[in-house]
Amino acid sequence: MNSIPVVDLSHFSSNDPDKKQGFIKSLGDAYREVGFVSVKNHGITDALIEDLYREVKAFFSLPDEIKRKYERKELAGQRGYTSFGKEHAKHSTKGDLKEFWQFGQTVIDGDAIKSEYPDNLWVDELPGFNEAGLHAFRSFENCGRQLLRAIATYLKLQENYFDDKIHNGNSILRAIHYPPITEEPDGALRAEEHEDINLITLLVGASAEGLQVQKKDGSWLNATAQQGHIIVNVGDMLQRLTNDYLRSTTHRVVNPPKEMWGTSRYSIPFFLHPRSEMKLNCLATCVNFDNPKKYDDITAGGYLDERLIEIGLKKPKA
């Protein structure tokens, strides 16, 4: 593997059954072998992405004292602002060289699950930032729903298997700023090698290179989305659900060459999470003599809590 496989999401909604089945197979096979794909014709418009990046850059350009107004410890980084160096990979104690903002789910249909979610924080100084974030959230969510339908079909489940599990799910749109590096980072990376927690992650093209995906032989592959594409990878929840049949691949964001230390990098991933009550018990169809059950039963909410503690965003209960 020397590049991320490319798939065309428009084929999934095609009236041509061969195109649809071809997409399902290409997506599923890529997730078994690589864990990452580059998706074209995904339905997220260039105008939306341009608006989002413009507003995100404006927010991170605000003075630190203004940004910190929107950092609330009790939210464990799940809404609003998280300042530089707070998050780290689960196996590391060094904080990543980043600051970020998170938009979460907005429940508008009377679903009782609303009580589980903190409200989104609103940036008074930049009303366009809030609007762009919530609009993008819905667009990513819709795209992710289509991809999960294809994944369900690949796994020989009902096409709509994930629909009710992600309806008003605990998804997160994260806007990340990797500031200029001003001193020797002492081994810290913009984002240390890690795997994502959620079902799938959707990532629009970052403002600079740096994302790398680990290959099976341990070497690293540069993963830069082509113009108009988004990168979508498997998260640990989906790997766990499928008993490692689909791969949650290790990835990282490396520091730029020293001559580029004075530049910022921006990235906006959408972490598609299910509802907290979804069971991540290994699917019976993914457990057999050659692939015995590898994981204990757990809910998505229970697993998320474990991982937030591991990466330093949440304190363990006393």
Q: In Å, what is the CA distance from 212 to each residue of 174, 221, 235?
A: 19, 5, 16
Please report whether residue 162 resides in a domain: yes
The model's pLDDT over 227-259, given as tens digits with 9 standing for 90+, comes to 889 999 999 999 999 999 999 998 887 776 677
Separation of alpha carbons 295 and 104, rounded Å: 28
Phi, psi of 203 (to 5 degrees): -130, 120
Please report whether residue 267 resides in a domain: yes
Buried b / exposed e along 5-35 (16+ C-beta atoms within 10 A): bebbbebbeeeeeeebebbbebbbebbeebb
Domain that holds residue 154: 6-310
Mean pLDDT for the chain overall = 89
Separation of alpha carbons 259 and 195, rounded Å: 29
Please report whether residue 1 resides in a domain: no
Look up residue 80 and give its amino acid: G
What pTM value is reported for the model? Answer: 0.90
Number of domains in the chain: 1
Between 205 and 53, name the one with better pLDDT: 53
Q: In Å, what is the CA distance from 183 to each residue of 40, 62, 169, 180, 187?
A: 38, 22, 40, 9, 11
Separation of alpha carbons 318 and 229, rounded Å: 45
Please report whether residue 123 resides in a domain: yes
pLDDT at 285: 92
The model's pLDDT over 182-230, given as tens digits with 9 standing for 90+, comes to 667 666 556 667 889 999 999 986 545 778 888 888 888 888 777 889 9
Please report whether residue 266 resides in a domain: yes
Please report whether residue 316 resides in a domain: no
Q: What CATH number is associated with residue 281? A: 2.60.120.330
Please report whether residue 315 resides in a domain: no
Please report whether residue 317 resides in a domain: no
pLDDT at 275: 97
Alpha helices in the chain (DSSP H): 17-33, 46-60, 64-67, 127-154, 163-166, 236-241, 300-310
The model's pLDDT over 65-81, given as tens digits with 9 standing for 90+, comes to 999 999 998 888 889 99
Contacts of 118 (CB under 8 A, 6+ apart): 75, 78, 79, 104
Give the dihedral of Cα atoms 271, 273, 120, 231; nearest 10 deg: 20
